[in-house]
Amino acid sequence: MIARNLKLCCLLPLLLLAACDKKGEEKKAETPGVPVTVAQSELRKMALLEESVGVLESLADPVVSAEVAGRVAEVRAVAGSEVKAGQVLAVLDGRDAGLSRQAAQAEAGRVGSLSANQTRNLERLKQLRAQNFISQAALDDAIAQNAATENQLSGARAQLGLAERNVGKTNVVAPVDGRVEKQIAVTGQYVKVGDPMFQVVSLKRLRARLPFPETMSGKIRRGMPVLVSVAGSDVPLGGTIGEIRPMAGLNNRSFDAYAIFDNPGAWRPGATVNATVVLEEHTDAVTVPELSVVLRPAGEVVYVVENGKAQQRVVRVGINQDGRVEILDGLQANETAVVDGAGFLTDGAKVTVAASQPPAGAQ
């Protein structure tokens, strides 16, 4: 009896140990996979972008100078004024120009009367010559005098036209639509011909000057699309790079790219502009969320879920834009790629899909 009890006491721990091992194996077999979220690889347009912060410039900023000498009688525009082409900016004292015009008018009238009299006299001399009452030499002399008088009349009329133009030039006008950038002349100032009075900048067409570092040399080219925007503008304007100017020096090897735009209305020269140049554009590129691409000894990989397990795909990546990465090789469209949790996986690891991300652009 005692021996039997001893056997039972020895067998009982063995049975308990076997039961525990069996439960451990069952528990191990039921261990869930790594929780992950997934997203479908999809086709979309990808662009390689380069950004720059530049400044807006006017295509036309003429300096308005005095075309006649005189004292400034009135200033009608100041710095910051919006002006139209032909609008009067200042008025010069026109009394001297008016007197010059009167003198030119008198001279033109005098020579005109003399020319008319010479013409009538020539007609009479032609009749007398036809009747042989005067010599041919006398007629030729009258013809020469009449031609000289007509030339004098043409000169007098030209001087009159010049005098009238000078009267008009006492009104200093804006050459283009734009804004007065500088007001140089003031009331009472005496100006000579050629003295600067105003600087007007055109607002219709603007140019964005965009600086780039030397490393972008050769990548930024004429004709590349560019989007520009200024502070307070919700909608960027599209254009193209039209000109590139190297700025090489001892300490600076950067360069400037220029793009021309029509002013949408509120943009002003001198404003800071944000620009994005499209270096490359790929349509129908296979893309995945950037969290799907992880680094492994084999290189950059994406884990694809197949039959509840993570299958490692070595990939070659391209453009990274707006949180998505272009896959150039190693993955096809519409494959299920791991997003969150990809960094904890190994090839063949069991996974549990916790959620699936919607396609890019889905609401």
Instruction: Quote the pLDDT of residue 3.
Output: 46
Q: What is the percentage of the chain residues whose pLDDT exceeds 90? A: 50
Burial class of residue 69 (count of CB atoms within 10 Å of its CB; 0-12, 13-18, 19+): middle
Q: What CATH number matches the domain at 34-45+282-356, 2.60.40.1120, 3.90.700.10, 2.40.420.20, 3.40.50.300?
A: 2.40.420.20
Write the CATH number of the domain with boundaries 94-169. Answer: 1.10.287
Q: What is the pLDDT of residues 234-285, one digit of tens each?
A: 678 888 999 998 865 556 678 899 998 888 877 888 889 999 998 888 989 9
Instruction: Quote the pLDDT of residue 6.
Output: 45
Tell me if the domain spanning 50-59+203-281 has CATH number 2.40.30.170. Answer: yes
Instruction: Quote the pLDDT of residue 138.
Output: 87
Question: What order do you get walking across the sheet with 82-83 strand by strand?
Answer: 63-65, 196-202, 178-183, 82-83
Q: How many residues does the chain have?
A: 363
Q: Of the candidates 216, 361, 231, which has an alpha carbon nearest to the alpha carbon of residue 277?
A: 216
Res 26 pLDDT > 70: no
300 contacts: CB under 8 Å, gap ≥ 6: 293, 294, 314, 315, 316, 317
132 conformational bin, left if phi > 0, alpha if psi -120 to 50, beta if neither: left
Phi/psi for 271 (5° steps) reads -75, 150
Q: What is the percentage of the chain residues whose pLDDT exceeds 70? A: 87
Q: How confident is the model at residue 30 (pLDDT cuts 50, 70, 90)?
A: low
Q: How confident is the model at residue 9 (pLDDT cuts 50, 70, 90)?
A: very low
Res 8 pLDDT > 70: no
Mean pLDDT rounded to a whole number for the chain: 86
The residue ranges of every structural domain in the chain are 34-45+282-356, 50-59+203-281, 94-169
Q: Of the candidates 342, 243, 254, which has an alpha carbon nearest to the alpha carbon of residue 296?
A: 342
Res 32 pLDDT > 90: no
Res 343 pLDDT > 50: yes
140 or 2, greater pLDDT: 140
For the chain, state the CA radius of gyration: 45
Q: How confident is the model at residue 12 (pLDDT cuts 50, 70, 90)?
A: very low
53 or 249, greater pLDDT: 53
Q: What is the pLDDT of residues 127-174, one digit of tens each?
A: 888 888 888 888 889 899 989 999 999 999 999 899 898 888 999 999
Return the SS3 of 356: strand
Q: How confident is the model at residue 363 (pLDDT cuts 50, 70, 90)?
A: very low
Cite the beta strand spans of 149-298 per DSSP E: 171-173, 178-183, 190-191, 196-202, 205-212, 225-230, 237-246, 255-262, 272-289, 293-296
